[in-house]
Structure 1
Amino acid sequence: MEYKLFTKNIELTAALEDYLEKRMEKIDRVFKKHDELLMSTDVRVEKDRELFKVEVTSHLKGNIMKVEERGTDLYEVIDRVSDAYERKLKKFKEKLQNHVSPNPLKELNVEYVDEDDILNKIDKRKRFDLNMYSLEEAIMQLELLGHEFFVFRNSDTEEVNVVYKRKDGSLGLIELIG
């Protein structure tokens, strides 16, 4: 499996890079038959004080798969993230095999869902204008509102964007295309 390796606050030794490569090759065997679905994979290794974080993100046609593990022993974290990624990949492969049939019309099951049941699951509904904001202004609105995310039209690109709070407290930006 080819992947891009990114590091933050750590310089990987040749031994660690070889170990990571071997663990990624193990995953590659699971994905051989469906390699046309794999667009790209990024591996991020970060160190924050005594804690290591390894994150594997694969961009598949129509899907994004992400696995993240943390710990104090980098070799152990690499093992856990590769095992978790392999499990997730096998589950994804099973779904592909179970949901793709040679004749999709043959196994067409139509299930009618009562619209009222769906609407009853929604506790709160809000409507708002999609105002133009710069990224800085959107971040300020996010913080002022105390929400986990904020949807806005970016004044630089005129596209719809979402700024959001990540688990680690940092911010993320989703840029919608098309």
Structure 2
Amino acid sequence: MMDYNIRGENIEVTPAIREYVEKKIGKLERYFNETPNATVHVNLKVYSDRSAKVEVTIPMKNLVLRAEERNADMYAGIDLIVDKLERQIRKHKTKVNRKFREKGEPQDYFAIAMNETAAAEVEEDTDELAIVRTKQFDLKPMDSEEAVLQMNLLGHNFFIYTDAESNSTNIVYKRKDGKYGLIETN
């Protein structure tokens, strides 16, 4: 059973919005063999320019579905989110089912039977996940500022390094808003 945790930032989550979200996201259940026991996290945010951002995260056992969309119309954003999640499921359904079978799961995660239109879109491209290049390099100890400088010098949008203080492997990356992010590992 899917439970819903719908949170609004700068907007009140009305019963109409809640019902619309549950109705639309509930359509995803048809892609599963068994309705997953998951809490659907929905974050609705309205900005000062009246645009809305919709984020949906569905954490399940061994799998997380996630999408976000920014749109002038919140209801249109919710529709687009559902479309994105459906595309993710259709695109990766066969690969996910195969991985679970290899791990010894008794049944497929996603339902195999779909309408013909969806089935045509699902044709698996085996080259899609093929690794076409491998690089090896030594991780130099440095701080996050130096890592950002190195990343920019290389013209990349991420950089992996060893943190000089913690000796852990970290990643700095350039965000869509032009600022920088840091991923710290344990």
TM-score tier after normalising by the smaller chain length: 0.5 to 0.7
Residues 91 and 129 (structure 1 numbering): CA distance in 2 closer, same or farther, change over 3 Å? closer
**1: CA distance, partners of 2:180 / 2:52:** 20
Please give the per-residue CA displacement for 1:142-161, whole angstroms capped at 9, x wherever unaligned: 45654311212234543211
Provide the residue aligned with 1:80 in structure 2. 80
**2: CA distance, partners of 1:11 / 1:86:** 26
Provide the residue aligned with 1:12 in structure 2. 12
Provide the residue aligned with 1:21 in structure 2. 22
Unaligned runs of 5+ in 1: 104-117
1:81, distance to aligned residue in structure 2 (A)? 0.7
1:58, distance to aligned residue in structure 2 (A)? 3.4
Q: Secondary structure at the match of 1:2?
A: strand
Q: How many residue pairs are counted as aligned between the two chains? A: 157
1:37-116 equivalence runs, <5 A: 41-48=40-47, 49-97=49-97, 100=101
Match of 1:163 among 169, 172, 180: 172
**2: CA distance, partners of 1:45 / 1:171:** 24
In the superposition, the TM-score normalised over structure 2's length comes to 0.60
Among the aligned pairs, what percent are the same residue?
A: 34
**1: CA distance, partners of 2:103 / 2:152:** 50
Q: Is the 8 A contact 2:67 2:81 kept in 1?
A: yes
Match for 1:85: what amino acid? Answer: L
Match for 1:20: what amino acid? Answer: V
**2: CA distance, partners of 1:126 / 1:91:** 30
Please give the per-residue CA displacement for 1:103-133, whole angstroms capped at 9, x wherever unaligned: 9xxxxxxxxxxxxxx7xx54x9573433142
Provide the residue aligned with 1:114 in structure 2. none
Unaligned runs of 5+ in 2: 105-130
Q: Is the 8 A contact 1:31 1:89 kept in 2?
A: no
Q: Is the 8 A contact 1:58 1:65 kept in 2?
A: yes
**2: CA distance, partners of 1:157 / 1:58:** 32
Q: Secondary structure at the match of 1:80?
A: helix
**1: CA distance, partners of 2:103 / 2:169:** 38
**1: CA distance, partners of 2:139 / 2:103:** 45
Provide the residue aligned with 1:106 in structure 2. none
Match of 1:154 among 163, 167, 170: 163
1:16, distance to aligned residue in structure 2 (A)? 1.8
In the superposition, the TM-score normalised over structure 1's length comes to 0.62
